[in-house]
A and B are shown apart, each in its own frame.
Chain A
Amino acid sequence: MTTTLIPPDLTTAITPDHPAEQAAAREQRRSGDQPARFAGVVRSEWVKLRSVRSSKTTLFSAAGVLLFVGLAAAAFTGGLLAQPADAGDGPGAGDPTSIVMSGLMLAPLIIAVLGVMAITAEYATGTIRTTMMMVPARLPVLWAKVVVLSAVAVPVMVVTSMVTFVAGQALLDAGGTATTSLGDPGVLRAVLGSGLYLAGIAVIGLAFGALLRGTATAISALFAVLFLVPGLGALLLPSSIQDSVLPYLPSNAASSFTSVTPGPELLSTTTGAVVFAAWVVIPVLAAAVALKRRPI
């Protein structure tokens, strides 16, 4: 494709002799161009994600936290590092999978930021308008963001979970503590589930970001849903209500498939997975409706 736009220093020399012919020439030149298609929108979102340093920082911070918190927990438990004096029974103490996956307490909040920023950065900088002018149907942009975010977060988080598990078990073994292997019942599911849980949190972050539009508000809302409500709920709610509310919160629903043997207070593995999937899908659908209806 050639351009008819002339370099700035030559614009004065443009000859307006045949504007109609020029318009026809442009028409012909463009006829080979493809209209906006979904693959192009996905590619566009990929360029956006890879071209900003903070995306990589956030993604690898989440992976790093999962890995190093897990390794540290394994090292403490295995006695390779001195136990802090006041160390009580940590999360899932005694369960070799839970010990090395301790990073699941913190990593969700970091990976959520990746998802939130994938859209709130567009609102903060104003690029959302340019984006939506390029794709006036709007929804393909949201779907493309989900695709790109998942395509990045699922492999990175699943691989990190695997590496963390294997390395963590090696550390436990070196410390002479009980270990487990991926072949044992429920272990592979719990490790894969951990990776998928984190990727799912990224997508929930995207949906919250699309609904709330502000980075701080979206992250606060996610923090509330993931940590604050489960924590406060366990403290403040009457136990009769606790049982009908707390297991359905996303972090607790996920625990039912990220733990090898879910505790009695949790949903069954399958129910937990379905409930968590609903926590991903429903906000995304709500975001789609909002995106279509609200002015940009």
Chain B
Amino acid sequence: MIELHGLTKRYGEKTVVDDLTFTIQPGVVTGFLGPNGAGKSTTMRMLVGLEEPDGGSSAVNGRTYGEHAAPAHEIGVLLDAGARHPGRSARDHLLALAATHRISAKRVDEVIELVGLAEVARSRSGGFSLGMGQRLGIASALLGDPETVMLDEPVNGLDPEGIRWIRELLRGLAAEGRTVFVSSHLMSEMALTAEHLIVVGRGRLIADISVADLVAQSITSVRVRSPRTAELRAVLAGDDVTVTTGTDGALDVTGLSLEQIGDRAAAAALTVHELTLQRASLEEAYMELTAHAVEYHGTLTTAGSSPIPTTSATPTPERTAA
């Protein structure tokens, strides 16, 4: 379990982590999402004592990181997949880490086997690909068989097979009752791995939400197709209702539920050929959540105007006559 209470970090004038409070529960994979520069890595660095917070506190399995006599058994951490000496073999790298906790060479060989590096473990690690570096980083995180695992962008550089492997590994660790906390800037990846999400932007907590709830929230409109479009429009019109026409002549309706639309069409005896819920993808839901918090964005926005528009096909809304 990881707990944060009002955790804050400032670099000069800039507050990079701003009063973060949340708890990461064991038994599920929790994704830590946010645009680049949102403060994810700084938060993780404070959690493991590499950096002092300017305010607030954090605890891993009930204690501050520095209070653990044998931290590698409490929390396994991957912060930087490139953190290895190119002249040192993967096995020696792990043996050096293991020695600090008197972890046996047998365990070192086990984690090497687990991450699939057995064939290259005894040669210099300088030639490792980014993906192999990630695997070595994960091996070092698992060395102490920890209750909590925290990985910063573990998917970077992995090939599709590796991505699938790590997803299953993380779910497996969570299923064993461990706390699994994984950062990413890609919602698409987290959607496949995580059950719970912590979303941050500009150092602030934006959402602490289960993936299921986010999916439920992300219903944006109802698509309805009818041969009698004009009449249907008139039936659906209302103060809080927006109806737009898609390219294929179907209507996108917001402000009315699926049931309400069906009922009104039936009451007016209008044939309906299609009636479907339109969900924004999780990616879009995430973009919407973080739109105001993106640190550096491209040219999609003009200065001082509204944030990045969602990228789905959003035809120009035309208000129906009230």
Contacts and interface: CB of A to CB of B under 8 A. Distances in A.
A43 B168 contact: no
A35 B80 contact: no
B87 A52 contact: yes
B145 A30 contact: yes
Interface residues on A, range: 35 or more
Contacts of A16: 175-177
Given A6-B172, A44-B97, A129-B80, A136 B65 contact: yes
B176 A3 contact: no
A6 B82 CA distance: 25
24 contacts: A6-B172, A8-B116, A22-B176, A23-B26, A23-B177, A26-B145, A36-B69, A36-B70, A37-B102, A41-B99, A43-B99, A45-B96, A51-B88, A51-B92, A53-B87, A125-B83, A125-B84, A126-B82, A129-B50, A130-B97, A133-B50, A133-B72, A136-B68, A136-B71
Contacts of B111: 3, 5
A37 B102 CA distance: 8
Interface in A243-258: none
B279 interface: no
A54 interface: yes
Interface in B61-93: 65-66, 68-73, 77, 79-80, 82-89, 92-93
Given A22-B177, A36-B70, A296-B50, A52 B88 contact: yes
Nearest to A296: B50
A14 B72 CA distance: 23
Contacts of B219: none
Q: 5 tightest CB-CB pairs across the interface, nearest first?
A: A19-B177, A16-B175, A35-B69, A126-B83, A51-B92
Nearest to A132: B50
B27 A33 contact: no
B52 interface: yes
Nearest to A29: B145
A16 to B, nearest CB: 3
Contacts of A134: 71-72, 97, 100-101
Given A44-B100, A295-B45, 15 more contacts: A3-B111, A4-B145, A7-B114, A14-B171, A20-B177, A35-B70, A44-B97, A44-B98, A45-B96, A54-B87, A126-B82, A126-B83, A127-B85, A296-B50, A296-B51
B66 A137 contact: yes
B80 A126 contact: yes
Contact of A5 (B52, B102, B142): B142
B156 to A, nearest CB: 14
B49 interface: yes
A240 interface: no
A136 B51 CA distance: 11
Interface of B: 26-27, 45, 48-52, 65-66, 68-73, 77, 79-80, 82-89, 92-93, 95-104, 106-107, 110-111, 113-116, 140, 142, 144-145, 147, 165, 168-169, 171-173, 175-178
A51 B45 CA distance: 28
A19 B27 contact: yes
A33 B85 contact: no
Contact of B96 (A5, A22, A44): A44
A8 B168 contact: yes
B85 A52 contact: yes
Contact of A34 (B51, B101, B110, B171): B101
Contacts of B66: 136-137
B112 to A, nearest CB: 12
B87 A129 contact: no
A133 B48 contact: yes
A1 B85 contact: no
A125 B100 CA distance: 19
Contact of B83 (A44, A54, A127, A295): A127
Nearest to B162: A8
B85 A133 contact: no
A129 B82 CA distance: 11
B175 A130 contact: no
B96 A26 contact: no
A8 B110 CA distance: 12
A20 B177 CA distance: 6
B50 A8 contact: no
B167 to A, nearest CB: 9
A129 to B, nearest CB: 6
A24 to B, nearest CB: 9
Contacts of B95: 47, 51
A59 B71 CA distance: 34
Contact of B102 (A34, A45, A126): A34
B72 A47 contact: no
Contacts of B106: 1
Nearest to B83: A126
Nearest to B95: A47
A26 B168 CA distance: 20
A51 B89 contact: yes
A30 B61 CA distance: 15
B39 to A, nearest CB: 15
A34 B168 CA distance: 31
B172 A11 contact: yes
